Chain A
Amino acid sequence: MFKQLPADETEIIGIVFNGKALQAPKGISVAAAILSRNPDHTRTTPVTGSKRLPFCMMGVCYECLMVIDGQANRRACATYVEEGMRIETQLGVGPALALEGGGSE
């Protein structure tokens, strides 16, 4: 569905998507990094479980909600990749919220 145009001199960092190690250019949004890998979906809806991908990419539609570093309901389009970031597909409302400072390990 999408591809990355040949990048010039971009710093590459490592992220983890659904347990799999991936590389992504530093500074791009989580949604962009994941979309460039052409996933089937990035969340399922809490109401009917239907599959969704990011829609607006500018922070207003909330379709790109994902579990990022253990925290559910984060907008992947308004969150930027960082070294070692763990990103997961959000199923329904996602896992119960991790305690502050806890993470999901």
Chain B
Amino acid sequence: MNNHYQLLVIGGGPAGLAAATTAAERGVTCALLDEQPTPGGQIYRAIEAIPEQRAKLLGPEYLRGRKLVNEFRQSAAEYFPETQVWSIDKEHQAGLLHNHQAHFITADQIIIASGAMERPVPFPGWTLPGVMQAGAGQILFKSAGIVPDNGVVLAGSGPLLLLLAWQYLHAGVEIRVLLDVTPFANHLQALPELPRALLAYRYLSKGIAYQLELKRAGIPIMFGVSDLTAEGNERLQRVRFSHAGKRKSIVSELLLTHFGVIPHIWLTQAAGCKHRWDNSQQCWRPELDDWGNTDIEGILVAGDGAGIYGARAAEHAGRLAGLQVLSALNVISRQERDQLSRKDRKRLHEERHIRPFLEAYFHLPDNLLATPGNDTIVCRCEEVTAGQIREAVAAGHENSNQVKFFTRCGMGPCQGRQCANAVAHIVADARGKSVAETGLFRGRPPVSPLTLGQLAQLPKKGTA
């Protein structure tokens, strides 16, 4: 690894791969830093080494990642797996951890393609062993061929839940029930967005086909579910929920939940980039121009880390960011950049047709996001409950950061990644404000943990 590259790309998913390939093809020195051991991101995880039989179970959309990874491998971009980036600053210096050693490297341009994470939504019992996120189930399946053994309950809202159910069905997993918490009122709310979504009929028809196939296979699907609760003595034993006006329960040792995905913004936050609250996607996202430029010169964001539009859109956005970098480095002119970007810009526009409909259809109710019930743990690390957060608000603490100082909520190892949004919603709800006003926890480097030994071995900043 050199001390300096013209371009540093962070993240090995579709956006990062496309961006790095685009830049490297034009002779730009480029390093791609990836947390994972192989390229593909979460969406195409383990795509290079996966046994053919397992790849087939994951569906055709997964196999699409092969081309992207092959093109990247053939490019001159350098690939650094199992590399954590723990800081980025305005001077384009990145702190990273590679082979158990901390380094600083610099770059003329940085593209952050850190992707998405599951939206954490606290509910009673969500910390019990046996409760995991649906994405976790899918990662175990893709990367290790590990699937539920003794039945599983799937619960939540959003396309991934349906996709995972379909993948599990084909892998012979017993799905006890799929509990859909999408409110019925959303169907009407989403209706005005349907005409534009029809332009992306491919996604709509796939969703419908998955649902029909699950029904034909006899998988029980319950709609309009609420009050999801995980119960058990030291581990999950039962899932309780409200459905059709009745309180019901089902025995299960595994519950996989999904409440949509949100951009992973910890690096852009640590870099000091400007972010805004997106009411439709119900998440914070960095403020960007049409090329992915943040408000800090030479730092760009591409893919789902910039806002949720899916894997194909991420690929196009990655190429656009790559072209912008080439233009900023004077490898191509602005005219060439605009010319070369036409196809990807058109495709990106097409990929976004489905989004307003999906965002309205899967919009989560505010009362779910604001953690009803005082006993529910909100901060998994420091074990701070919703009630303690409400007490802090009642005592006069009026934004997320004040609540954090007062309760330690968000000060554990995950640094608030799991509780930040819930805290913002609880504070907003209690004070009758908007989430945009209550704000997000401040993010500071290191955004992932280093040992003191690794820190001590770091050369002084700027001397690397």
Q: Hey, which bits of chain A sit against chain B, CB under 8 A?
A: 1-5, 7-10, 25, 27-29, 32-33, 35-36, 38, 40-41, 45, 47-48, 50-63, 65, 71, 73, 77-78, 80, 97, 99-100
Q: Hey, which bits of chain B sit against chain A, CB under 8 A?
A: 35, 37, 42, 49, 51-54, 82, 84, 117-118, 120, 127, 129-133, 135-136, 139-140, 143-150, 171, 234-235, 253-254, 264, 380-383, 412-414, 417-418, 448-449, 451-453
Q: Which residues of A contact B150 (CB under 8 A)?
A: 1
Nearest CB in chain A: distance from B275 CB, A: 17
Cα-based distance from A97 to B452 in the complex (angstroms): 9
Q: Which residues of A contact B449 (CB under 8 A)?
A: 73
Flag if A35 contacts B135 (CB, 8 Å).
no
Question: Which of B35, B131, B381 has the most chain A CB within a 10 Å cutoff?
Answer: B381
Out of A1, A54, A97, name the residue touching B149 (CB < 8 Å): A1
Q: Which residues of B contact A65 (CB under 8 A)?
A: 413
Out of B42, B49, B130, B144, name the residue touching A53 (CB < 8 Å): B130
Flag if A60 contacts B117 (CB, 8 Å).
yes
Q: Which residues of A contact B149 (CB under 8 A)?
A: 1-3, 38
The majority secondary structure among interface residues of chain B is loop
Cα-based distance from A58 to B138 in the complex (angstroms): 10
Q: Which residues of A contact B127 (CB under 8 A)?
A: 50, 52
Q: Which residues of B contact A9 (CB under 8 A)?
A: 51
Q: A41-B129, A55-B136 are in contact. Are A60 and B264 (CB under 8 A)?
A: yes
Out of A4, A5, A25, A59, name the residue touching B35 (CB < 8 Å): A59
What are 17 A-B contacts with C-beta separation under 8 Å? A2-B148, A3-B146, A8-B52, A8-B53, A35-B146, A51-B235, A52-B127, A55-B133, A56-B117, A56-B118, A56-B133, A56-B135, A58-B136, A58-B139, A59-B448, A73-B413, A80-B37
Flag if A32 contacts B144 (CB, 8 Å).
yes
Flag if B136 contacts A45 (CB, 8 Å).
no
Number of A-B contacts (CB under 8 A): 129
Flag if A53 contacts B147 (CB, 8 Å).
no
Cα-based distance from A99 to B235 in the complex (angstroms): 35
Q: A52-B127, A58-B135 are in contact. Are A7 and B413 (CB under 8 A)?
A: no
Q: A55-B136, A57-B135 are in contact. Are A4 and B144 (CB under 8 A)?
A: yes
Nearest CB in chain A: distance from B22 CB, A: 26
Out of B51, B54, B253, B453, name the residue touching A1 (CB < 8 Å): B253
Q: Which residues of A contact B132 (CB under 8 A)?
A: 53-57
Cα-based distance from A40 to B49 in the complex (angstroms): 30
Q: A61-B418, A62-B414, A73-B413 are in contact. Are A53 and B383 (CB under 8 A)?
A: no
Question: Which of B35, B82, B140, B381 has the most chain A CB within a 10 Å cutoff?
Answer: B140
Flag if B140 contacts A57 (CB, 8 Å).
yes
Question: Which of B130, B234, B451 has the most chain A CB within a 10 Å cutoff?
Answer: B451
Q: Which residues of B contact A59 (CB under 8 A)?
A: 35, 448
Flag if A62 contacts B412 (CB, 8 Å).
yes
Flag if A5 contacts B146 (CB, 8 Å).
yes
Cα-based distance from A3 to B168 in the complex (angstroms): 13
Cα-based distance from A37 to B418 in the complex (angstroms): 26
Flag if A47 contacts B146 (CB, 8 Å).
no
Q: A53-B130, A56-B118, A62-B381 are in contact. Are A35 and B453 (CB under 8 A)?
A: no
Q: Which residues of B contact A32 (CB under 8 A)?
A: 140, 143-144, 146
Nearest CB in chain B: distance from A100 CB, A: 4
Flag if B383 contacts A29 (CB, 8 Å).
no
